[in-house]
Amino acid sequence: MLRVVNLEELQNLLLQVPNIVELSEEGGFGFVSAVKKWLIQMEIVLKNNKLSVSANVAGFRGVLISAEQGNIPLGINFKGAITRRKVREATASRSISQAVEIVSDRLQKDIERVEEAERIIRQLVSIAKFKGLIVDVPSGNNFSDALKSVWKTMSSDHALSQGAVSVEGLVGPHDALILLDRRITADKQKT
C-alpha cells in the first residue's frame, strides 16, 4: 500500500511523459536521452517504494541501452532504411510506452483507494462542519496537534466514527490527516 505522497510522486513522473513525447514529435535529438533519464527516475522511485515493477522499468531501460549500442530489439520493424537513430527512437518510444502502461496498471488500485478515502473525508468534513466540530482551519505553530485534535473529535463523534475508521482503513492514520488537511484547506479557499 503506497502512502499518498509516494503515490503522488509516481503520478507526477507519469505527468512528465507528454513533454517527453513532444520532443519526439518535434524531431529533437534529446528524445532518447529524456526517455532514458525518465526511466532512471521512475526506476529509482519505484525501487525506493519497494515496488517490484522497478525491475520491469529497468528491463525497458536495458533494451534502450542495447538499442543505443546498435542492436535492434525484437518486434521493431521499419519502413525504408534502418538507421541507428530510427532504432534508438523507436526503442525509446516503445520503452516509455511499456513503462507507463505497467506503472499505471500497478498504481490503479492505490489511486482508487485514495480516491475513496477522499470521497469519505469530503462527506465527513461536511457533516463535521454542519455539527460545529470544525470551526476554523488548523494553523500556527501547533498545526499538527490542532489537526490531530480535529480528527480525534471527528473520530469520537457517533455519526462520524464509522467513516473515520473507514478512512484510516483505506489510507492509514497519517494519510488520513493529510487528506483531512487538504479537504479543510480546499473548503476554506472556496469561501
For each of the chain's 191 residues, which pLDDT tens digit applies? 899 999 999 999 999 999 999 999 887 779 999 999 999 999 999 999 999 999 999 999 999 999 999 888 888 887 888 888 889 999 999 999 999 999 999 999 999 999 999 999 999 999 999 999 987 766 666 788 888 999 999 999 999 999 999 999 999 999 999 999 999 888 766 65
Query: Hey, CA dihedral for 28, 29, 35, 38, is it positive or negative?
Result: negative
Provide φ and ψ at 157, rounded to 5°: -75, 130
Q: How many residues does the chain have?
A: 191
